[in-house]
């Protein structure tokens, strides 16, 4: 899995993977152009779409309605170090009995992004410089 992020000027970046392109930007109050979501919003989008995928898979494999499934993710900022300190996932699922409600909860908690945030991965950072080509 790979995502490439390229600087587009000002506060904007283009993010690409496979045949897909996204724009990341900052709101106008942060001197951006508000042309796309911020990095933390992408993180919430990743968590919400992953949770939604797992919830929908649970419902669909059991022949339960999933059409009106909605996932809302919020986060609170924390300091020292600056980060998102807490997340809240709210799943609005179609009417199901208590057994399936518990099943949806288990499915959402099994989401790859949720699990990654609970058990942080190692992150290696490498900085390379472009070497100018002499003609």
Per-residue pLDDT tens listing for the chain (135 residues): 999 999 999 999 999 999 999 999 999 999 999 999 999 999 999 999 999 999 999 999 999 999 999 999 999 999 999 999 999 999 999 888 999 999 999 999 999 999 999 998 999 999 998 887 777
pTM of the model: 0.89
> In whole angstroms, what is the distance from residue 93 CA to residue 102 CA?
11
CATH architecture of 38-118: 2-Layer Sandwich (3.30)
**Residue 28 contacts by C-beta under 8 Å, 6 or more apart in sequence?**
34
Please give the Cα distance from 26 to 52 (Å, whole number).
26
Of 16, 35, 15, 19, the residue nearest 27 (C-alpha): 35
Can you give the residue ranges of every domain in the chain? 1-36, 38-118
């Amino acid at each position: 899995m790979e995502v490439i992020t390229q600087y587009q000027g000002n506060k904007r970046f283009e993010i690409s993977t496979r045949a897909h392109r996204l724009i990341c930007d900052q709101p106008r109050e942060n001197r951006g152009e508000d042309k796309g979501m911020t990095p933390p919003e992408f993180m919430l989008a990743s968590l919400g779409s992953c949770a939604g995928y797992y919830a929908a898979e649970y419902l669909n494999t059991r022949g339960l309605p999933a059409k009106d499934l909605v996932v809302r993710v919020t986060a609170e900022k924390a300091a020292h170090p600056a980060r998102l300190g807490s997340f809240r996932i709210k799943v609005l699922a179609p009417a199901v009995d208590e057994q399936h409600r518990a099943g949806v909860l288990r499915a959402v908690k099994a989401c790859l992004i949720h699990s990654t945030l609970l058990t942080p991965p190692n992150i290696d950072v490498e900085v390379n410089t472009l070497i100018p080509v002499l003609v």
